[in-house]
């Protein structure tokens, strides 16, 4: 009986050790948004933790997603997820995002490259950004919007996933 008890303690310890090795101390995504005047679009790069993104994609789709090898099905699932959790309303009009690329880095960060078509004049940019927020309550999503030689920044947190940037002309 003593060996069985010791084995149980050992198994519990290993499970605890394995679970704690997958937990990280911070949950942050960063989105940098630039204006491409010639193309009349936002060019956006979003950095997200790959393991966390795989987890939320599994929760939302019910399918295992491997970001190390992005095929067409994974690309489409990623674009659906981003379209739901990263939304743009410019001057009161909803704009569709387009995922144009992605990249997994050795450090575990996953980059999404997105474009959004723009009107001729930009007065307000309302952004919903709840990427990972429903699953990871401690998640912070930082946006840096660079427009008219000025940078606007905002941090999105749980239950505060919308922000409107009022754009001042130069």
Predicted confidence (pLDDT) per residue in 88-145, tens digit: 999 999 999 999 999 999 999 999 999 999 999 999 999 999 999 999 999 999 999 9
- Residue 132 is inside which H or E element, if any? none
Higher local confidence (pLDDT), 54 or 16: 54
Is a pLDDT exceeding 70 seen at residue 64? yes
Q: What distance in Å separates the CA atoms of residue 54 and residue 60, rounded to the nearest whole number? A: 10
> pLDDT grade, residue 17 (50/70/90)?
very low
Q: What distance in Å separates the CA atoms of residue 131 and residue 121, rounded to the nearest whole number? A: 27
Asked whether the beta carbons of 116 and 41 are under 8 A apart, the reply is: yes
For the chain, the maximum distance between any two Cα atoms, rounded to a whole number of angstroms, is 77
pLDDT for 16: 47
Q: Which residues have C-beta within 8 Å of that of residue 23, sequence separation ≥ 6?
A: none
Q: What is the DSSP letter of 114?
A: E
What is the overall mean pLDDT for the chain?
Answer: 89
pLDDT for 61: 87
Give the global pTM: 0.84
User: For the chain, first and last CA: distance in Å?
Assistant: 77
Q: Residue 148: left if φ>0, alpha if ψ -120 to 50, beta else—which one? A: left
Q: Which residues have C-beta within 8 Å of that of residue 94, sequence separation ≥ 6?
A: 87, 88
- Give the dihedral of Cα atoms 54, 47, 88, 44; nearest 10 deg: -130
pLDDT for 18: 47
**Beta-bridge mates of residue 143:** 31, 154
> pLDDT grade, residue 168 (50/70/90)?
confident
């Amino acid at each position: 009986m003593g060996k069985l008890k010791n084995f149980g303690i050992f198994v519990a310890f290993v499970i605890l050790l394995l679970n704690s090795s997958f937990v990280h101390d911070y949950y942050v995504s960063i989105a940098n948004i630039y204006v491409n005047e010639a193309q009349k679009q936002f060019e956006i790069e979003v950095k997200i933790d790959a393991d966390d993104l795989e987890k939320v994609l599994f929760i939302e789709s019910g399918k295992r997603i491997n970001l190390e090898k992005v095929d067409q099905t994974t690309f489409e699932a990623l674009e659906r997820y981003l379209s739901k959790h990263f939304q743009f309303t410019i001057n009161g009009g909803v704009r569709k995002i387009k995922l144009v690329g992605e990249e997994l880095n050795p450090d575990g960060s996953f980059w999404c490259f997105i474009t959004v078509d723009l009107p001729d004049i930009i007065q307000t940019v309302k952004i919903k950004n709840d990427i990972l927020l429903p699953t990871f309550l401690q998640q912070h999503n930082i946006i840096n919007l660079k427009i008219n030689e000025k940078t606007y920044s905002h941090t999105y947190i749980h239950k505060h996933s919308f922000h409107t940037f009022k754009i001042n002309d130069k």
